Structure 1
C-alpha cells in the first residue's frame, strides 16, 4: 500500500492515465539493478529514485573525480574521492527516503555477476565499455531477466531493450555479432563526451525501465534507438533474432 506521503509525492503519476495507483504500486514493488553510477547511471538513478522504484541496486567500484562532474549529476564537488555508490546513496536518500538503495561497491565480472543480478527483476546497464556490456547481456539472458542497454560517445548515444527469453526476441549477439574495433569505441578519456548526451540516453533508459515495470507502452525490444546530438536527430533500426 502507498502511504499518505507517497500518495502526495507521486500524485502526478497517480493521476496519469494508464499508470495510476496500480502502476505506482508496481513501481514500489519493483527491484532494479543499475550497472554503473556514472554518466548514464546518474540520470537513471535520479529518475528511478524519483519515480519511487522500491528497491534500487547500484554496482560500481569507481570513486568520484572532478572530471566526472561535467556529466555525472548525482555527485558533488565535495564528493571527490568518495566511492560513487556511496555518493549516489546520499543523493538517493536526500531525494526519496521511501526507496531502498543498495550500494554495491564492486566491479561486476564473471565471478560475481550472476550473484549480483539474481535478486533483481531486471537490469539497466550504464557501463562504459563494450566487454562489460556484453557480459551483462550474457548474464541477463542466462538469468532470464530483461536488460535496458545504453551507450554514449562524443555527441551520440543509443539504447535498446533485450529480452531474449521472451518470444524468441533478439539477443545482444544479434545486434553485435562482432566486437567493434577500439577505434570505433573511443573512451571518454580519449575522445571526450558532451555532458547532456548522457542525460538524453540515461533519461530514455529510465523511461524504458518505467515502461517495463508498469506495462505502459511498447518497449524498445528488437529496436535500436540512436541519437545524434549535433544534428538533433533520432533514428530507429530494427534487428531480428538469428538462427
Structure 2
C-alpha cells in the first residue's frame, strides 16, 4: 500500500494514466542497481529516487573531484574528496527519505557483481569504460535482468535497453562485440554536461517504464544523440545468434 504521504509526494506522477497507483506501487516494490555515479549516474539516481523506486543500490569506487562538478550533478563542492557513493546517498536521502539505499563502495569483481545484479530487478550501466560495460552485460544475461545502458562523450550520446527476458532482445555484446582498443574517456576527449544529463534522464525514463510496466522500452533499438545538431537517430539492433555472451541464453 501507499501511505497518504506517498500518495501526495508522487501525485503528479500517479496522475499519468499509464502509471496510476498500481504503477507507483510497483516502483515502490522495485530494486535497481546503478553502476557509476558520475555524469550519467547522477541524473539517473536523482530521478529514480524522486520517482519512488523503493530500493536503489549504488555502485562506485571513485571519489568526488573538482573536475567532476561540471556535469556530475549529484555532487557539490562540499563533496570533493568524499566517496561518490556517500555523496550521492546524502543527496538522495535529502530528496526522498522514504526509499532505501544500499552502498557498493569498492570495485565489483566477478562474484560481487553477480551477487549485486542478482539482488535487484534492473541494472543501469552508467559507467565510463568498455570493460565494465562488458562485465555488467554478462552478469545481466546470466541473471536474466534487464540492462539500461547509456554512454556519452564530447557531443554524442547513445542509449539502449537489453532485456534477456525477451527472446528477441540483443545484448550489449551483440551490438559492440569486443569494442575498440582506442576507446576514449571523458577525461581524454571531454564531454558537455547537459548531454550526459539528457542521456541519464532518458536512462531513468527507460528504467521507470520497465519497472512500472508502461510504454515501449528501447529493446532492439539504439538511440543516437547528436548534441551539436540537436538531432536524434534510431537504429534497429538484432540479437546475434552466434553471440558469445547471449547466443545460447534462449536455448
**186, 198, 201: which is aligned to 2:199?**
201
Structure 2 partner of 1:212:
210
The CA RMSD over aligned residues, in Å, is 1.0
Normalised TM-score (structure 1): 0.97
Query: For 1:93-148, what per-residue CA distance to the aligned partner results, in whole angstroms no more than 9, with x for missing partners?
Result: 10000110112101123242101211100100000001100110000000000000
In 2: Cα distance, 1:120 partner to 1:27 partner: 12
Structure 2 partner of 1:16:
16
| Structure 1 spans left out of the alignment, 5+ residues | none
Q: Mean alpha-carbon deviation: is it higher for 156-165 or for 119-128? A: 156-165
Q: Mean alpha-carbon deviation: is it higher for 9-18 or for 50-59? A: 9-18
Deviation at 1:199, TM superposition (A): 0.4
| Structure 2 spans left out of the alignment, 5+ residues | 242-251
Deviation at 1:62, TM superposition (A): 0.3
Report the number of matched residues. Answer: 241
In 1: Cα distance, 2:110 partner to 2:161 partner: 22
In 2: Cα distance, 1:171 partner to 1:27 partner: 24
Structure 1 partner of 2:38:
38
Kindly indicate whether the alpha-carbon contact (under 8 Å) linking 2:63 and 2:81 is maintained by their aligned counterparts in 1. yes
Structure 1 partner of 2:98:
98
Q: Mean alpha-carbon deviation: is it higher for 185-194 or for 220-229? A: 185-194
Secondary structure of 2:110's counterpart equals coil
Structure 1 partner of 2:245:
none
Do residues 222 (structure 1) and 205 (structure 2) align?
A: no
Normalised TM-score (structure 2): 0.94
Query: For 1:17-68, what per-residue CA distance to the aligned partner results, in whole angstroms no more than 9, with x for missing partners?
Result: 1111001001100000000111100000000000000000010000001100
